[in-house]
Amino acid sequence: MLKQTPLSAAHRAMGAKMVDFGGWDMPVSYGSQIDEHHQVRSDAGMFDVCHMLVVDVNGADVRGFLRNLVANNVDKLKVPGKALYSCMLNPQGGVIDDLIIYFMTEDWFRIVVNAGTAEKDVAWMQKQAQGRGLTITPRRDLAMIAVQGPNARARVWMAIPGAQAVTEAVKPFNAVEFQQYFIARTGYTGEDGFEVILPAAEAQAFWHLLATLGVKPIGLGARDTLRLEAGMNLYGQDMDETTSPLESGLAWTVDLHSGRDFIGKAALQARDINHQLVGLVLLDKGVLRAHQPVHTKHGVGEITSGTFSPTLQQSIALARIPLGIAPGAEVEVEIRDRKRKAKVVSYPFARNGKALV
C-alpha cells in the first residue's frame, strides 16, 4: 500500500499520471512534463511536496544540538526565520541526508528532510538528542506545497489575504509564520517562490484555490529537470552515505574552519579528496543519464544525474569526475557502448528563466 499525501485524490482528479515514488503515491506529470517545466520558468507552478517531512526540534539548547548534528554552521542563523542548507553526516563523513534548517526561536528550530530518508533521519536525530532534554517531533499533520516561478509569490499573495504585507520583505532563504501558514522563500527550481507549510486538513482547499488563480500543478518529472538545470543536488543520486560532501559539490555547506566539532568532521579531514562534481553539456546527440561512465584525461568518472534540459534544448548532467578537469574541457560519455562528446561546465545551467551555459 503506497503512502498517500493529502493531495493524492486531487492529483487524480487533475489527470495526473501517478507513480510509486519511494513508497509514495505521487504525480509524475499531468500531461507534458516539458510544458510543466516551461510553466514554472515562465509563470508559476505548484508542487506537492507533502512526502517530505517537517521535523520540529524544541528545547532549551536546540542550537547546541544542531552544532553537533550538521556540517554547516547553525551559528550563521541569527535572525528568526533564517534558513540554512546543510548535510547531516554519519561518523564516516557520508551524507545521511541533506536538509533545510529554519531558525525560529532559540527553543524551536524547524527542519525539512527528504521523503526517502525521513524515518532514518528522525531515528538518527533522536539518538543524537538523547540526554539533551529536547523534543523531536515529526509533523505528518502538516502539508507542504511549493509554488515556484516568476509569478509565484504574487499568486500566493492572492490566495492568502494579508500575506503580502508580511512576506513581501522576506528575503530568499527566509521564512515567516502567518496565521496557520509557514511561508518560506525557498525552493528547488532556481526560480523565485514560496514553500508553504500548512495544516494537512487545509492542503486540498489551498491547492484548488491556487489552481483557480492560474497556478498549474507540476509533477515530479518536471521537478527533476528544473532542479537539475538549477544545479541542485538530489539525495541518493548526487550524494549518499558512501560519498563525501566535499566530492559532491557541497564543500560550500561544510564548515571545516570554525573550531566547532560536528559528527563526521574528523573523517572528512582525514579523507583524501580525489573527485569533484561538475556540470556536463552533451555536444553530440543523445541523453545523459545517471551512472554513465565519463572518460577524462585524468581517469574515469560517473554521471550522478542526467536529463534533457528543456531550457537549453540539449542534454545536461552532474558528474563526479577526477580532480583537475576544468570547465571548458571536453570529455567523453559512454552512452550504450558508444562514446559521445560532452563539455565540462560550471553549474547552475539555468536560473530565473535564463540559460547560463
Partner 1 sequence: MSIPADLKYTKSHEWAKLNADGTVTVGITHHAQDLLGDMVFVETPAVGRKLNAGEECAVVESVKAASDVYAPIAGEVVAANAAVEAAPEAINKDAHAAWMFTLKPDNAADLDSLLDAAAYQALVESEAH
Q: CB neighbours (10 Å) of residue 237?
A: 16
Q: Which of 285, 291, 337, 354 binds partner 1 (CB under 8 A)?
A: 285
Counting Cβ atoms within 10 Å, is residue 37 exposed (0-12), middle (13-18) or buried (19+)? buried
**CB of residue 335 vs partner 1: minimum separation in angstroms?**
9
User: How big is the site for partner 1, counted in residues (CB under 8 A)?
Assistant: 16
How is residue 257 annotated by DSSP?
A: S
Decide: is 286 part of the binding site for partner 1 (CB under 8 A).
Answer: yes
The grid coordinates listed for 31 are 500531461
Has 202 been labeled as part of a binding site?
A: no
15 SS3 class = coil
What does DSSP say about strands 17-21 and 24-29: parallel, antiparallel, or unpaired? Answer: antiparallel
Decide: is 307 part of the binding site for partner 1 (CB under 8 A).
Answer: yes
**CB of residue 222 vs partner 1: minimum separation in angstroms?**
8
What is the largest distance, in Å, between two alpha-carbon atoms of the chain? 59
Handedness of CA 309, 312, 318, 319 (dihedral sign): positive
- Binding segment for partner 1 (CB under 8 A), chosen from 62-70, 155-163, 187-195, 305-313, is 305-313
Q: Which of 29, 73, 253, 304 binds partner 1 (CB under 8 A)?
A: 29
Decide: is 34 part of the binding site for partner 1 (CB under 8 A).
Answer: yes
Q: Which stretch of DSSP H or E encloses residue 158?
A: helix 152-159
201 SS3 class = helix
Decide: is 92 part of the binding site for partner 1 (CB under 8 A).
Answer: no
- Binding segment for partner 1 (CB under 8 A), chosen from 27-35, 125-133, 209-217, 255-263, is 27-35
Decide: is 336 part of the binding site for partner 1 (CB under 8 A).
Answer: yes
Half-sphere exposure of 124 (CA within 13 A, CB side): 18
Decide: is 28 part of the binding site for partner 1 (CB under 8 A).
Answer: yes
- Binding segment for partner 1 (CB under 8 A), chosen from 24-32, 66-74, 95-103, 230-238, is 24-32
Q: Cβ closer to partner 1: 72 or 314? A: 314
- Binding segment for partner 1 (CB under 8 A), chosen from 54-62, 202-210, 306-314, 348-356, is 306-314
Q: Which of 24, 308, 347, 349 binds partner 1 (CB under 8 A)?
A: 308
- Binding segment for partner 1 (CB under 8 A), chosen from 85-93, 181-189, 303-311, 341-349, is 303-311
Phi, psi of 330 (to 5 degrees): -95, 140
* Distance from the Cα of residue 28 to its chain's centroid: 17
Decide: is 33 part of the binding site for partner 1 (CB under 8 A).
Answer: yes
Decide: is 32 part of the binding site for partner 1 (CB under 8 A).
Answer: yes
Q: Cβ closer to partner 1: 286 or 299? A: 286
| R_g of the chain computed on alpha carbons | 20
121 SS3 class = helix
Q: CB neighbours (10 Å) of residue 352?
A: 12
What does DSSP say about strands 216-217 and 45-48: parallel, antiparallel, or unpaired? Answer: parallel
Calpha distance 318→306 (Å, rounded): 6
Q: What angle do the packed helices 62-69 and 118-129 form, to 10 degrees? A: 120
How is residue 235 annotated by DSSP?
A: B
46 forms beta bridges with 147, 217
Decide: is 47 part of the binding site for partner 1 (CB under 8 A).
Answer: no
Q: Which of 63, 82, 132, 289 binds partner 1 (CB under 8 A)?
A: 289
Decide: is 291 part of the binding site for partner 1 (CB under 8 A).
Answer: no
- Binding segment for partner 1 (CB under 8 A), chosen from 104-112, 203-211, 282-290, 344-352, is 282-290
Q: Which residues are annotated as a binding site for substrate?
A: 195
Q: Which residues are annotated as a binding site?
A: 195
In the complex, the residues that contact partner 1 under the rule CB under 8 A are: 28-29, 32-34, 221, 225, 285-287, 289, 307-308, 310, 315, 336
